[in-house]
Amino acid sequence: MSEATRIVIVGGGPGGYVAGIRAAQRGAQVTVVEKDLVGGTCLNRGCVPTKAILGSVEAIHKARAGEEFGFKVGGDIEPDFARIMERKNEISKKLRDGIQGLFKRSKVELLVGQGRIVSADRVEVETTDGVKSLAADKIIIATGSEPAELPFFDFSQPTVLDSTAALEMEQVPKSLLIIGAGVIGCEFASIFSELGTDITMVEMMPQMLPLEDKRLAKQFQSIFRKKGINVMLKSKVESVADYGDNSITVDLEGGDQVTAEKMLVSIGRRPNTQDIGLEDVGVEMDQRGYIKVNDRLETSVEGIYAIGDVNGGILLAHVASAEGLVAVENCLGGNEERDLSVVPSCIYTMPEIASVGLTESQAREEGFKPVTGTFRLGASGKAMAIGEDVGYIQIVADEKTDKILGANMMGPHVTDLIHEIAVAVRKGLTVKDVGDTIHAHPTIGEAVMEACHDVHGESVHVAS
């Protein structure tokens, strides 16, 4: 019987831990090296904590709308922010414990410490018990990313936050200036506006959510405006006028000045590629510090792979997990290639936003003759019943072949609904394929069917 392949994975986030469990399932001898907490940014400082807080905020929102739903709650609804944050921590811990349980059952060794690659077949780990040396047949780098910083902001000031620090606040700020109206900024704005924070967003691009469909972004800005959120587009911070003990004041290009109790900088992320030995072993990186990989996710050094945020592909947890599975197969002799052509994008705001594939303008740029179908959730019985009828479903298709090219959605549960269209795009399904599929009633999902019917002008619930 041949000896098991030894795989060392540096990083225990959604890419690393998934890769570790799959490698063990395939019979490899696996060690996952994690310097902090298993689950990485997603589970501890990003995806899961923000959704846990949002869950509390949505419950508060529904309670405040009690009379609309036919019940009364005595007095004002007062958020217990300490309990909200405690609940967030409890959920993260429960999931961490779950991963460690999976490791134990799968016989994956977890080694806590700072990993450093010293050669193509060895990783050294600085632990509390000293330096341990791990022999490896294959190495997978899954060290993820961290919030990017702007050099003219002093992040040592208590008024300046990144997304990690924002998740550790002990009190709800009275006012919050958010630099960047992308996914992270909009999620935090959606959360804290419901908690009573006065919010101003500064975005240098001409639209919020720059990667989303223009119509969707415009409608979403209108929703934020109704919530009292001030969104300043085509605006840029020129300098910090004052770091106060309990406030910060910034000067914008053009002369405007904004003061807030806290400032959240949400301008993207940067790779965790420092101090892990990449330069010493010759792993090539681009100018931004992302690791260069081929379609098999192998780096410039044979036997060393890089997955997730650290390779600069699409910085999403589900992409990291998918790449982890591909890398493992290749570590064990396979010839798999990553496919990032169909990746759902989900934004957990109120209402939710989701998209996949091409927008109408992108389809036109790629040479298609796009046609669209739309269904407003204001005409959805289920959306009205649950009191969340703001939003729509839009399908983008190719007029020539009728194949679905993409979709963008805004409304309740669209982060779950988007996967129907992801499958359709991936498998080349047509508008007729999806539209002729019977969808249950009453559901939000049947809005997808109606939008498909509308592509051909045949939706019975859309006025012509």
Read off the CATH number of the domain in which 202 is found: 3.50.50.60
Q: Is residue 341 part of a domain?
A: no
Q: How confident is the model at residue 74 (pLDDT cuts 50, 70, 90)?
A: confident
Q: Is residue 41 part of a domain?
A: yes
pLDDT, residue 1, reads: 38
pLDDT, residue 2, reads: 59
Q: Is residue 36 part of a domain?
A: yes
pLDDT, residue 294, reads: 98
Query: What is the arithmetic mean of pLDDT over 299-309?
Result: 98
Query: What is the arithmetic mean of pLDDT over 200-206?
Result: 97
Q: Is residue 430 part of a domain?
A: yes
325 and 385, same structural domain?
no
Q: How confident is the model at residue 3 (pLDDT cuts 50, 70, 90)?
A: confident
281 and 259, same structural domain?
no
Looking at 267, 290, 323, which one is the last position of a domain? Answer: 267
> Is residue 156's pLDDT more than 90?
yes
Q: How many domains does the chain have?
A: 3
Q: Which of 61, 441, 453, 461 is catalytic?
A: 441
294 and 214, same structural domain?
no
**CA torsion 243→245→247→250, rounded to 10°?**
0
421 and 385, same structural domain?
yes
The model carries a pTM of 0.95
Looking at 267, 299, 319, which one is the last position of a domain? Answer: 267
The whole-angstrom separation of Cα 395 and Cα 344 is 14
> Is residue 166's pLDDT more than 70?
yes
pLDDT, residue 463, reads: 55
441 as an active site residue: the answer is: yes
Looking at 218, 248, 267, which one is the last position of a domain? Answer: 267
230 and 85, same structural domain?
no
The whole-angstrom separation of Cα 253 and Cα 386 is 43
172 and 210, same structural domain?
yes
Q: Is residue 153 part of a domain?
A: no
The whole-angstrom separation of Cα 410 and Cα 353 is 4
CATH of the domain at 374: 3.30.390.30
208 and 64, same structural domain?
no
pLDDT, residue 76, reads: 83
138 and 275, same structural domain?
yes
Q: How confident is the model at residue 86 (pLDDT cuts 50, 70, 90)?
A: very high
Q: Is residue 155 part of a domain?
A: no
Average pLDDT of the chain?
96
By residue count, the chain amounts to 464
Q: Is residue 183 part of a domain?
A: yes
Range of the domain at 169: 160-267
Per residue in 360-389, pLDDT tens?
Answer: 999 999 999 999 999 999 999 999 999 999
57: amino acid identity, one letter? V
295 and 239, same structural domain?
no
142 and 287, same structural domain?
yes
Tokens 């050094």 locate to 301
The whole-angstrom separation of Cα 174 and Cα 30 is 48
> Is residue 67's pLDDT more than 50?
yes
